[in-house]
Amino acid sequence: MNNATVDQATIDRVIQMAWEDRTTFDAIQRQFGLNESAVIRLMRQSMKASSFKMWRSRVTGRKTKHQALRSDEVMRFKSRDQKNRDF
């Protein structure tokens, strides 16, 4: 995914998913083709420095952002308020 060829709505959606606690980086990669480091680059480029630092401290070490680290009981990656949305 190249930022120059992607519309703002798609970038906004990736940012929204990255902020969500339950959405894994694996889910973002499946949907948009961006691995974790590409999401981090996108967030760094698209956000104010203070917002990026806040996001990084929030997701660093968070088990719910990595499919391999999260509990087997969690089978979804969308938050409950998104079940009726079609992105």
| Digit-coded pLDDT (tens) for 27-54 | 899 999 999 999 999 999 999 999 999 9
Q: Which of 30, 26, 31, 14 is nearest to 69 (CA)?
A: 26
Q: Which of 28, 33, 30, 24 is nearest to 75 (CA)?
A: 24
To the nearest 10 degrees (0 to 180), the angle between helices 36-46 and 49-59 is: 150
pLDDT higher at 84 or 7: 7
Mean pLDDT, residues 13-32 taken together: 91
Residues 6+ apart with CB under 8 A from 35: 25, 29
pTM of the entire structure?
A: 0.69
Domain coordinates of the chain in residue numbers? 3-68
Hey, is 78 helix, strand or coil?
coil
Residues 6+ apart with CB under 8 A from 46: 11, 15
